[in-house]
Amino acid sequence: MNREHLRGLFSAKSARVDTNRGEEYYNSLFERCKKRVEELKRLEPVNGVDIMEVLEDEGVSRRDFLKWASAMTATLMLPASFTPLVAEAAEVMNRVPVIWLELQDCAGNTEALIRSDGPKVDELILDIISFEFNETLMTAAGHQAEEQLEDAMHHFKGKYLLFVEGAIPVGAGKEWCTIGASGETFEEHLHRVAKDAAAIVAVGTCATFGGVPAAAPNPTGAVGVMDIVKGKPIVNIPACPANPANMVGVILHYVLTGQIPELDSLLRPKFAFGYRIHDNCERRAHFDAGEFVEEWGDEGAQNNFCLYKVGCKGPMTFNNCSIIRYNESVNWPIGAGHGCIGCSEPDFWDKYAYERPMADANIKAPTGGVEKSVDEFGLGLLSAAAVGIGIHAAISAFAGKKDEGDE
Ligand code: SF4
Ligand code: SF4
């Protein structure tokens, strides 16, 4: 394999996979992916680990692994015929080196990964892919850590995926957060490491949109990666924390196709953020029936009614946690009884994280159809000419009162 060819294997700049094509497109994509996986198989694992051996040691049977591959194929919006190929791609995921930077945040995304006590295949795979550098998890510190980062950047120049967790403070002086003995600011640090990355994956809402550090009055001038890094392919995986399944999905897509996934206007992969929470919510039937929790602990709460009136922002939020859930798929926030606070949307802390409906939220009428993506739904949600939830809620309340009166 010559140098040019090898560089091609790790270039993420090519066109994105189009998920709306026909059979001919998928046949040709299959052949391309197959060729790429074969080529990756010929490379040595960067960390010398056999992924299948580790999975087996952790008690994951071949059957479970294939079930996971089948679910992941569906998550990536690929036809079922891609399942065996997705399984093969997962086996060679550690041919792609990953550098992970921890910037201005609480490390919640890393915590979400390492705190699971019964890890799923997603978490196990993330554990054993080739993390060449991860400030939070590695044992090296100080000069030793800096050398490790330099080595990884030099050795895998142009080939590594750069995962970034945390916001970047760029307000007055930019010295709110510095790293290392040289006092490099986070902004300088990010620019230096991003320069030779094949692609950048911003993980969590702080790295994507500034998140909680950027909440008003944003004293440090916190911003997301896409606000300051230009000229590189960037994939945003927001949420607080980002779901490990979506992180694996992005790496797997890259391993399989050599491309970053198809993105929405906020650079979020459509396979994960093409769905509105509200459209896949287990309480949706109650919304449509006008059955709401009116206050915490009431009869509606005991009956798992819709949480809209106690502040659920599921109608404004795009994410797949209503489908794939958290904590080994055990549950998710709405399932546990609290409304969605829109954590995968820009400015969520100021715009959505309170326990009452938005005063001016006009959302489409119940049963009025499903918006397909954030682009079609539109960021101009609040000005949408649609029947308002307020009206619907008022009608439901009126109907309820009328029923009471009729009795
Ligand atoms: S408003 Fe919230 S709880 Fe109600 S159906 Fe929509 S997403 Fe589910
Ligand atoms: S339900 Fe909403 S707030 Fe909760 S994790 Fe999902 S997107 Fe974030």
Question: For residue 344, how far is its CA from the centre of ligand 2 (angstroms)?
Answer: 7
One domain for residues 94 and 167? yes
One domain for residues 230 and 330? no
Q: Who has greater pLDDT, 242 or 8?
A: 242
One domain for residues 348 and 251? no
Q: Whose CA is nearest to atom 1 of ligand 1?
A: 308
The ligand with the least distance to the CA atom of 314 is: 1
One domain for residues 91 and 229? yes
pLDDT at position 342 is 96
Among 276, 280, 281, 344, name the best residue to mutate to test ligand 1's pocket (greatest count of ligand atoms within 8 A of Cβ): 281
One domain for residues 266 and 284? no
Ligand 1 atom closest to 292 (CA): 4
One domain for residues 170 and 236? yes
DSSP 8-state symbol, 49: -
Q: How far apart are CA 209 and CA 327, in angstroms?
A: 24
Whether the CB of 312 sits within 6 Å of ligand 2: no
Q: What is the mean pLDDT of residues 281-303?
A: 95
Question: For residue 273, how far is its CA from the centre of ligand 2 (angstroms)?
Answer: 12
Question: What CATH number is attached to the domain comprising 327?
Answer: 4.10.480.10
Q: Give the mean pLDDT of the chain.
A: 82
Q: Whose CA is nearest to atom 8 of ligand 2?
A: 343
Number of compact structural domains in the chain: 2
* Band (20; pLDDT cuts 50, 70, 90): low
Strand-pair category, 222-223 with 168-169? antiparallel
One domain for residues 254 and 358? no
Ligand 2 atom closest to 352 (CA): 3
Contact 233, 13 (CB under 8 A): yes
One domain for residues 211 and 311? no
Instruction: Residue 28: count other Cβ atoms within 10 Å of its Cβ.
Output: 11
Contact 63, 115 (CB under 8 A): no
One domain for residues 175 and 61? yes
Query: Residues of 380-400 as b/e, b for ≥16 C-beta within 10 angstroms?
Result: ebeeeeeeebeebbeebeeee
Contact 55, 124 (CB under 8 A): yes
Note down the domain range covering 347: 277-406
Q: What is the mean pLDDT of residues 259-274?
A: 94
Whether the CB of 357 sits within 6 Å of ligand 1: no
| pLDDT for 386 beyond 70 | no
* φ, ψ (nearest 5 deg) of residue 164: -120, 125
Report which listed range, 91-95, 298-302, 394-398, is most confident.
Answer: 298-302
Whether the CB of 334 sits within 6 Å of ligand 2: yes
Picking from 102, 253, 300, the residue whose alpha carbon sits closest to that of residue 190 is 102
Of 214, 249, 272, the residue at which a domain comes to its end is 272
Whether the CB of 277 sits within 6 Å of ligand 2: yes
Q: Whose CA is nearest to atom 2 of ligand 2?
A: 340
Question: What CATH number is attached to the domain comprising 45?
Answer: 3.40.50.700
Q: What is the mean pLDDT of residues 376-387?
A: 38
* Band (360; pLDDT cuts 50, 70, 90): low
Of 272, 306, 327, the residue at which a domain comes to its end is 272
One domain for residues 233 and 288? no
Whether the CB of 334 sits within 6 Å of ligand 1: yes
pLDDT at position 119 is 56
pLDDT at position 157 is 94
Q: Who has greater pLDDT, 219 or 394?
A: 219
Of 255, 272, 289, the residue at which a domain comes to its end is 272
Give this prediction's pTM: 0.83
pLDDT cut 70: percent of the chain above it: 80
DSSP 8-state symbol, 240: S
Q: Whose CA is nearest to atom 4 of ligand 1?
A: 306
pLDDT at position 116 is 57
- Per residue in 112-142, pLDDT (tens digit) is 777 655 556 776 777 667 677 777 777 777 8
Q: How far apart are CA 24 and CA 30, in angstroms?
A: 10
One domain for residues 9 and 65? yes
DSSP secondary structure of 61-72: -HHHHHHHHHHH
How far does Cα 195 stand from its chain's mean position? Answer: 23
The ligand with the least distance to the CA atom of 331 is: 2
One domain for residues 108 and 222? yes
Question: For residue 316, how far is its CA from the centre of ligand 1 (angstroms)?
Answer: 10
Contact 126, 248 (CB under 8 A): yes
